[in-house]
Amino acid sequence: MGILDDLQQFLVEEMIFLAPVDLGVCLREVKGQKLREGRGNGLFLGAVEVVVKNFHGDWPTMFSGLWKAALALLLLLGLPLVGAWGAGKPIAVYLDFPPQPVILDLPGFSWPVFGAYLGAELGICGSLVWLVRRLQRRRTGALAFPVWGWGALVWLAVAWYLAWARPEGMGIWGELSFTWLWLGYIGAVNALCQWRTGECLLTRQPGFLATLFAVSAAFWWYFEYLNRFVGNWHYLGGETLSGWQYFWRASLAFSTVLPAVTSTLALFYGFFGPAEGLPPLSLSHPRRWAWGGVVGAGLGLIGIGAWPESCFALLWLAPLVLLAAVQVLSGQESYFAPLRQGRWEILVLPMLAGLVCGFFWELWNYFSFPKWVYTVPFVSRFKVFEMPILGYAGYLPFGLECALIVDGWRKIWEKRVNCAQINS
């Protein structure tokens, strides 16, 4: 009976988490009453009775957010497969698990395509510089650099040496040096943030930061999935690993992506504030725009599967547009809502954080092993480290995607923390 009671308590906790605030209060009262009466075996049925009496059968409202999130996931995963299937490609090669690197035969360099991308990226970068120059500079007194920050810097320096020197006898520890590098970077950036503002994610929200590692691994594996269609990068040095060895070692490295970008973004917020003299960006009929975003992003994801040599750049854009649109359609407050008050920093700073992290990813990858190399169609010249110079523009929307995912996860995390505090 103890196991049954525990199961019922777990189910009721999930109902409380999913329910609106007023219904959640009712459910917590039922839980407390049943447990005081020693009637744990009636807890779940009592909770169901409260939902039926108080929610008036409006189940779609209660679960609409979950359904729309599930639909977004289905579109993100399924539409590239639809495109590949429509182009007559075998679907099975994209679904191998554990995933293995895929190398495609892609078109070579093209000056006209390179010029078109260069013109577009110069326009984007020029606009970004113009916006950055209009951000307010925060004036805060520098605090003492934390002692643990010096430890993070030493860790970073040692990991950098191990990644590039690759001394013999290190075994798996040497092969995972890239992960150690990024753990050192995350610690060092948090220390800089603590020095600049007096707080950082590592000291203020360590639990939330820890959960980002798991979210990050799943997040980056999605881009590895999309890369199976476009074949823009592949890894060297993992050829002797089994499928599961490759999966777990890669997951460790992927787990550092969101913590690194989020920590860098927090540091930038310590230096920059809201923009000055910029107009608000407000769209009339936002739901119509959101539906248009769903359609456009959906077509982009189909194009990734059907015509990867032409649509490869949409790998970084289509998921961003789709996730932002689903946020609006699900009734949540959009991550981009502050733009209506002219707060352009929520657009600019994540892009800069993505670009800064991208620079260090490419820098540390260059002499590391295992490492990745690029096979980008049409623009694969003028490399900075292994990355073609035009490829760095992909880190701008990627920074926004990181911010969007972290914003959604933060809302889930804070809601669970609030529930736990109320129930305690």
pLDDT tens digits for 96-107?
Answer: 877 766 778 889
Taking the C-alpha atoms of residue 233 and residue 391, their distance in angstroms, rounded to an integer, is: 11
Taking the C-alpha atoms of residue 221 and residue 248, their distance in angstroms, rounded to an integer, is: 11
Same domain, 123 and 173: yes
Q: Residue 211 pLDDT more than 60?
A: yes
Query: What Cα–Cα distance (Å) separates residue 99 from each residue in 67, 81, 178, 244, 245?
Result: 27, 15, 20, 9, 11
Judge contact between 353 and 268, C-beta under 8 A: yes
Judge contact between 273 and 135, C-beta under 8 A: yes
Judge contact between 402 and 350, C-beta under 8 A: yes
Same domain, 190 and 43: no
The pLDDT score that the predictor gives to residue 242 is 85
Residue 229 included in any domain? yes
Q: Residue 130 pLDDT more than 50?
A: yes
Mean pLDDT over residues 217-240, rounded? 93
Bridge partners, 109 (sequence order): 378
The pLDDT score that the predictor gives to residue 23 is 44
Residue 64 included in any domain? no
Same domain, 250 and 363: yes
Judge contact between 374 and 109, C-beta under 8 A: no
Residue 334 included in any domain? no
Q: Residue 19 pLDDT more than 60?
A: no
Q: Residue 399 pLDDT more than 70?
A: yes
The confidence band for 333, taking pLDDT boundaries of 50, 70 and 90, is confident
- Here the tokens at position 368 are 């590391």
Taking the C-alpha atoms of residue 405 and residue 416, their distance in angstroms, rounded to an integer, is: 17
The confidence band for 57, taking pLDDT boundaries of 50, 70 and 90, is very low
Same domain, 44 and 158: no
Q: Residue 370 pLDDT more than 80?
A: yes
Domain count, the chain: 2
Same domain, 42 and 125: no
In the chain, pLDDT over 90 holds for what percent of residues? 65
Mean pLDDT over residues 149-160, rounded? 97
Residue 12 included in any domain? yes
Same domain, 257 and 382: yes
The pLDDT score that the predictor gives to residue 18 is 47
The pLDDT score that the predictor gives to residue 350 is 98
Q: Residue 419 pLDDT more than 80?
A: no
Question: How much is the mean pLDDT over the chain?
Answer: 85
Same domain, 134 and 207: yes
At 197 the three-state DSSP class reads helix
Residue 35 included in any domain? yes
Residue with tokens 């590098």: 181
What is the pTM assigned to this prediction? 0.86
The confidence band for 361, taking pLDDT boundaries of 50, 70 and 90, is very high
E-strand stretches of 175-271: 233-236
Same domain, 39 and 103: no
Query: What Cα–Cα distance (Å) separates residue 372 from each residue in 196, 234, 281, 297, 365?
Result: 34, 5, 39, 27, 7
Same domain, 271 and 395: yes
Mean pLDDT over residues 283-308, rounded? 95
Residue 337 included in any domain? no
Residue 304 included in any domain? no
The parent domain of residue 7 ranges over: 2-57
Question: 109: which DSSP letter?
Answer: B
Residue 324 included in any domain? no
Same domain, 150 and 102: yes
* φ, ψ of residue 177 in degrees (nearest 5): -60, -30
Judge contact between 261 and 42, C-beta under 8 A: no
Q: Residue 385 pLDDT more than 80?
A: yes
Looking at per-residue confidence, does 128 or 66 come out higher?
128
Give percent helix, percent strand, percent coil of the chain, each to the nearest 5.
70, 5, 25
**Closest to 192 in 3D by CA, of 93, 269, 304, 283:** 269
Looking at per-residue confidence, does 60 or 92 come out higher?
92
Looking at per-residue confidence, does 254 or 277 come out higher?
254
Taking the C-alpha atoms of residue 279 and residue 259, their distance in angstroms, rounded to an integer, is: 32
Same domain, 49 and 109: no
List all residues 6 or more positions away from 274 whose beta carbon is below 8 Å from its beta carbon.
135, 136, 342, 343, 344, 345
Same domain, 117 and 236: yes
- Here the tokens at position 154 are 């030493």
Q: Residue 204 pLDDT more than 70?
A: yes
Judge contact between 415 and 16, C-beta under 8 A: no
Looking at per-residue confidence, does 47 or 271 come out higher?
271
